[in-house]
A and B are shown apart, each in its own frame.
Chain A
């Protein structure tokens, strides 16, 4: 029993040290926790140090847990700011009318390919739907050839790579397929997880890092990868596909084409801002673009918490919403009209 005694004794000592360390970090401010989307996480990590540097006493923890967890924890009051790639559904809003979906920034996504010898691939929603449904199985399929005249497409089986974990990237990718392909819309819908059809060559990979690794390791593969990982994808030798927009043009993801998509829906964004900006009608507009949301309750348990959230989100919408932050994660600031709508929602937080 000497061991137990020793363990116990060292335990008590450790407890004393830990408590002392805890006491040293006396809290005068309101601690806020942000939890949710792994896509938004890097942006929050840029914002929080800048914000705390100019707002002494601010106490904000950022965590990456997944959009679904962020939403659920925010609704239950476990965290103050849920970060989500998806706005709340009608049913969710009906059940929790106090919850706000507030866009903070604009993200996008690339469709990457590992295709030896091909560097300028063009793809459309219906082609991608066909590939992920297992209806288009080879790179030299007539549908792909028709979209890429003059490109020597290999006679090789396509390896479609998808996310195994729930992800906002899957959400916006499947929205693009659902909005541009009626067959996909009726059977597979869209969501942070999709019931991927049985394709024997398909690979499920974990996280955006896992997507880059899997695509790089498998020639003739195709993958959808969040734009924050654009540098990694390029370093791994992956090509970026030009995607067919609503106008019938093939568009590459650039600041200009993503901006076009965002500004084309700015005017039609409703007051509660729950709207998809995937596959928008704008000209020269990249089709896979998304609002990144803070999911926040308008009824906080204490006035001090409400004002702390208002201060931080207000800062994020103004000082935080510029290219010096956004370009580091390949995001874009909100158009002015949307910024105003978001600010109006932030002001509702009590």
Chain B
């Protein structure tokens, strides 16, 4: 095969991404090694989380030095992560699809740039500001109108804030893709007598399906990894599994942030090592989510092929 310098150079550039990921994962595995040994598998299925007494002398448990009473279980945070990100996607996808369609097809050309810029602007609002908006506007609303106990902190608040943060990602990628749909495709659908909405829903949306799924996966990644805003509105659930939309939760990412400072005063370093292990678990979740998304999108494509 002929040597193609351009192809090789972009390939090398793209290989930097997996290289960075491998470096981070390698670091996390190496760093959390002792914690993986100490925590075993019940780490993932256990509800109670306790850093232990960081101010007493460490004790030795099966050959590993840990703070007395240290006991790490992360089921609560896995549940909180999946629930809040899942709910956020459920809220964000229909909203973004609707908003992108309306923006691309129904809004007069003159105000379109302003609106699309506003949607993009949201990607710039620091997440602390989202958190502040959450506690001053959203949480009182949830507390007054939805939550039976009157307490607005918890799963729903976290999911809505996350949904708001990821909507622009999905909406703007979809919006750009809709504008790229060739004129011929639209016009031939119109020629068949389809209404404008049918053109959009039946002719244009299927064409941008891969873009949409790609955007959703990106957005899900952002939701899974968001820290500050979630920390401020989620109610910081610990040692308790969520049972309703208004239960306090913690996500893995926000939990790592909330514990890291205390973990740094652990003389045995086991707390920080365990937090690294949790980060590995989040990697596994992201991996699983991406794999599922991939299966879903390819499966959907196969069905369509068979029909046509």
Contact between A and B in the complex (any CB pair below 8 Å): yes
**Could you list which residues of chain A lie within 8 angstroms of chain B, going by C-beta atoms?**
65-69, 71-72, 86, 89-92, 94-95, 157, 159, 162, 164-166, 187-193, 195-206, 210, 213-214, 217-219
Please tell me if the beta carbons of A195 and B55 are within 8 angstroms of each other in the complex: no
Question: In B237-292, which residues have CB < 8 Å from any A CB?
Answer: 237-240, 243, 247-248, 250, 254, 257-265, 267-268
Task: Given A91-B57, A165-B231, A206-B131, verify A193-B139 contact (CB < 8 Å).
Answer: no
Residues in chain A near residue B234, CB distance under 8 A: 164, 204
From A71, A94, A192, A203, contact of B153 by CB (8 A):
A203
**The 7 nearest A-B residue pairs measured at CB:** A204-B236, A164-B236, A66-B261, A166-B261, A195-B50, A91-B267, A68-B264
Residues in chain B near residue A92, CB distance under 8 A: 265, 267
Please tell me if the beta carbons of A195 and B262 are within 8 angstroms of each other in the complex: no
Cα of A301 to Cα of B51 in the assembled complex, Å: 33
Please tell me if the beta carbons of B140 and A206 are within 8 angstroms of each other in the complex: no
Task: Given A91-B58, A191-B53, verify A214-B262 contact (CB < 8 Å).
Answer: no
Please tell me if the beta carbons of B236 and A162 are within 8 angstroms of each other in the complex: yes
What are 21 A-B pairs with beta-carbon distances under 8 A?
A66-B261, A67-B261, A68-B262, A69-B261, A89-B55, A89-B56, A89-B267, A92-B265, A159-B151, A164-B236, A164-B258, A165-B257, A165-B258, A188-B50, A189-B56, A191-B53, A202-B235, A204-B153, A204-B238, A204-B248, A206-B231
Residue of B nearest to A89 (CB): B55
**Could you list which residues of chain B lie within 8 angstroms of chain A, going by C-beta atoms?**
48-58, 69, 131, 135-136, 139-140, 143, 149-153, 231-232, 234-240, 243, 247-248, 250, 254, 257-265, 267-268
Please tell me if the beta carbons of A68 and B265 are within 8 angstroms of each other in the complex: yes
Please tell me if the beta carbons of A193 and B258 are within 8 angstroms of each other in the complex: yes
Please tell me if the beta carbons of B264 and A195 are within 8 angstroms of each other in the complex: no
**In the complex, how many angstroms separate the beta carbon of A11 from the nearest chain B beta carbon?**
19
Cα of A272 to Cα of B111 in the assembled complex, Å: 68
Please tell me if the beta carbons of A192 and B265 are within 8 angstroms of each other in the complex: yes
Residue of B nearest to A73 (CB): B264
**In the complex, how many angstroms separate the beta carbon of A250 from the nearest chain B beta carbon?**
28
Residue of B nearest to A75 (CB): B264
Residues in chain A near residue B56, CB distance under 8 A: 89, 91, 189
Most buried by B among A92, A164, A189, A214: A164
Residues in chain B near residue A214, CB distance under 8 A: 135, 153
Please tell me if the beta carbons of B51 and A193 are within 8 angstroms of each other in the complex: yes
From A67, A195, A206, A219, contact of B265 by CB (8 A):
A67
Q: Dominant SS at the B interface?
A: loop
**In the complex, how many angstroms separate the beta carbon of B3 from the nearest chain A beta carbon?**
22
**In the complex, how many angstroms separate the beta carbon of A202 from the nearest chain B beta carbon?**
6
Cα of A164 to Cα of B51 in the assembled complex, Å: 14
Residue of A nearest to B68 (CB): A189
Please tell me if the beta carbons of A89 and B265 are within 8 angstroms of each other in the complex: yes
Task: Given A67-B261, A193-B258, A217-B139, verify A198-B240 contact (CB < 8 Å).
Answer: yes
**In the complex, how many angstroms separate the beta carbon of B17 from the nearest chain A beta carbon?**
19
Task: Given A191-B55, A218-B143, verify A210-B232 contact (CB < 8 Å).
Answer: yes
From B57, B238, B265, contact of A90 by CB (8 A):
B57
Please tell me if the beta carbons of A213 and B258 are within 8 angstroms of each other in the complex: no
Residues in chain B near residue A199, CB distance under 8 A: 240
Residue of B nearest to A94 (CB): B267
**In the complex, how many angstroms separate the beta carbon of A78 from the nearest chain B beta carbon?**
12
**In the complex, how many angstroms separate the beta carbon of A95 from the nearest chain B beta carbon?**
6
Residue of B nearest to A92 (CB): B267
Please tell me if the beta carbons of A193 and B264 are within 8 angstroms of each other in the complex: no
Please tell me if the beta carbons of B267 and A193 are within 8 angstroms of each other in the complex: no
Residues in chain B near residue A218, CB distance under 8 A: 143, 150-151
**In the complex, how many angstroms separate the beta carbon of B48 from the nearest chain A beta carbon?**
7
16 A-B pairs besides A213-B135, A217-B140 with CB distance below 8 A are A71-B264, A72-B264, A89-B56, A91-B57, A164-B250, A164-B258, A188-B50, A189-B52, A189-B69, A191-B262, A193-B262, A195-B51, A201-B149, A203-B235, A205-B236, A217-B135
Residues in chain B near residue A164, CB distance under 8 A: 231, 234, 236, 250, 254, 258
Cα of A71 to Cα of B263 in the assembled complex, Å: 11
Please tell me if the beta carbons of B261 and A202 are within 8 angstroms of each other in the complex: no
From A69, A191, A196, A204, contact of B54 by CB (8 A):
A191
Please tell me if the beta carbons of B55 and A196 are within 8 angstroms of each other in the complex: no
**In the complex, how many angstroms separate the beta carbon of B256 from the nearest chain A beta carbon?**
11
Residues in chain A near residue B139, CB distance under 8 A: 217
**In the complex, how many angstroms separate the beta carbon of B228 from the nearest chain A beta carbon?**
8
Cα of A228 to Cα of B174 in the assembled complex, Å: 48
Residues in chain A near residue B53, CB distance under 8 A: 189-191
Cα of A141 to Cα of B79 in the assembled complex, Å: 33
Most buried by A among B50, B150, B236, B259: B236
Cα of A207 to Cα of B116 in the assembled complex, Å: 34
Residues in chain B near residue A201, CB distance under 8 A: 149, 151
Residues in chain B near residue A192, CB distance under 8 A: 261-262, 265
Task: Given A165-B258, A203-B153, A214-B135, verify A198-B265 contact (CB < 8 Å).
Answer: no
Please tell me if the beta carbons of B69 and A217 are within 8 angstroms of each other in the complex: no
